[in-house]
Structure 1
């Protein structure tokens, strides 16, 4: 009798829980016209997004009855488990953005117990949004809705630059003046003062949009001492080295986009659209051997392409 009573209580509670979740999902579908519910969404105090995620997980495990599966499908339930995992991580991304004001998260960042920093890093890599073009486009739209600048590489700069820029805006919005943001002034662990000094010093290396954004914040290039006219042979020195590095990075990005991998043969030569040939294997080996002499921006550019040794 005790066993029957326990069984009845467990089964009855489970039936009530399912009925409550289904009824909440039905009302949501009647109101919104779909069941594309964010993982963190609640209806009143009921965690509808989590309940639907649990149903998908049970469906994948084969523990959802055909009757219940049919009832949910009639409401427009989508069982795709890949989208379920994406939705859960997207919820973590929203939580991170609400706290940090950016999706330029460092790799070690977490939110809602999810490794959101590594997840975002993976998404930014070639093919990271999935092989299905429609799904990839849909996912990109969801990320843009959270942070239009979620993928700084597409804008021409690194995640590290975007995160520091966001930190600068936060400090300025908090009442700090540019003259007060000196090396040692930090935001969320990043030295914004040191970064700002470097932007002012290396202004000419920034692209027009970076200059525009910094200019709107009141940042100007550092004044340089006047010097007598000097003549330097074209294509030599630091300028040549910088151009060669940029060509190498462009060739790497092109290679990774096409091949879907970061391993490059030592003798491989990559042809850029302008006809320039880059000995890609040699370039990559040289950068790895001299990584202690690369600038922070150069290391960040390589890290964004997936080379962990550049972190």
Structure 2
């Protein structure tokens, strides 16, 4: 094909999101579980925030970090799912270039933010189990606030290059993104240029954020398990380990879907595109849905407050 037939432009006015390509006929049916999951995520995380605010006994480091996780889950799901549902329900596929870059920034920064909050929660569990007498003095409100600020700044700064890199490339007339949101690589693959810098930065960000966070969580739990095994009785060991179950479940809910998607994306050469996009959409919904359920079921104070609220409603 002749180069003269290709038009280049630096800033396309709009992109076209396909939603889940190949499953257009089933979009309306797919929207039912997705909208239900999104409603559960919004309701569940707002409930966590409300209960922690109202229950004075929950005003502690672990629950402050849980509130940070709930906020990031809310913003993460809201940055992508409403647009996906608008594609499903109204065939509203267009997204402006600026909105696309904004969505890209939020998706990548919030992903790193959630990972950082899980590290902070692992540190809280380490201090609570390995240095229980120093927990209140080490993790004061000001320290928790500084940790939260550090997590936000790290994620926000490391995600800044994504929209700037995407903006600098020249794009071809084809502006169709075979996805439901503006992921960095999904957008820059439409560029008519060598995008190696974007690819390398994405790998650097993955290793420096997720890689380091997984390492720190692993070190924290190695020290936690060593302290637990030193306890004198089986009941004491089980009770202490039980305080970590919610956090471990939250870690699995966040990292396993991402790991599964990454493995399929990199090694599943014959996997249909619609399956990859469907898995990616589930990855965006699973953590925001599961996190409030995990902490609602596993945390006695939250569970008790929920039952109290429902009891009052019935009365």
TM-score range, shorter chain: under 0.3
TM-score by length of 2: 0.25
Q: Considering only CA atoms, is the larger Rg found in Structure 1 or Structure 2?
A: 1
TM-score by length of 1: 0.25
Q: Specify which structure has the higher proportion of helix.
A: 2
Higher relative contact order (CA 8 A, sep 6+): 2
